[in-house]
Amino acid sequence: MTYAVVDSPLGPLTLVGTEAGELTGVYMDRQRYRPDESGFGDRDDAALPAVAEQLDEYFHHGRTTFDVALRLAGTEFQRRIWVALQDIPYGETSTYGGLAAALGLKPQSARAVGLANGKNPVSIIVPCHRLVGSTGSLTGYGGGIERKRALLDHEAGGKLLSW
C-alpha cells in the first residue's frame, strides 16, 4: 500500500492505493470512518498520479467521470451499493430509497443503502455525495454536509469554493 496527499478545493485529500496503482481510498481531513493512517503504507506524494490528475480535472477543468482502477474493500452488499453509485450521472442525484428500488431491494432497505453509502472508502470518485434524502434534503456525508453541498453545487455549474 502507498498513499499521497494532494491539495483540493475541499482541503487536503489522502489518496490510498496499491503498488499496482489501484485506488482503495480517498479521504478528506476530519472525515467520518477515516481509517488510521498507519494502514495506508508509505507516503509518496508522487504515487497515484492518474487519480490526482483526474481529481484536478474534476475540480478545475470539467471532468464529469473517472476511469481509474478501483479496489473496493467491503461487504458484498456495500460493494453493490458503491458500484451502483457510479451509475448516478454527474450533476444528478438519487435518493437512498430510489437507489434501493433501482437495485430491486425492498423500500425498507433505504437505511441499509445509507449505511453502506456512508462507508464508501472512495469519496468523490465513487459519488456518494449524489445520494440525498427522500425530500431532497442533504442528509449525512462523511466529509460533512458543507462539503456535500459544495460538491453538488459544483456539479450544478457553481464555483467550488476553497476550504
Report, as residue numbers or ranges, the catalytic residues.
128
C-alpha triplet 115, 117, 118: angle, nearest 5°: 65
3: β partners? 16, 43
CA quadruple 67, 70, 74, 76: dihedral positive or negative? Answer: positive
119: cell is 462507508
The rounded distance, in Å, linking the Cα atoms of 61 and 54 is 9
Q: What is the maximum span of the chain, computed from C-alpha positions, in angstroms? A: 44
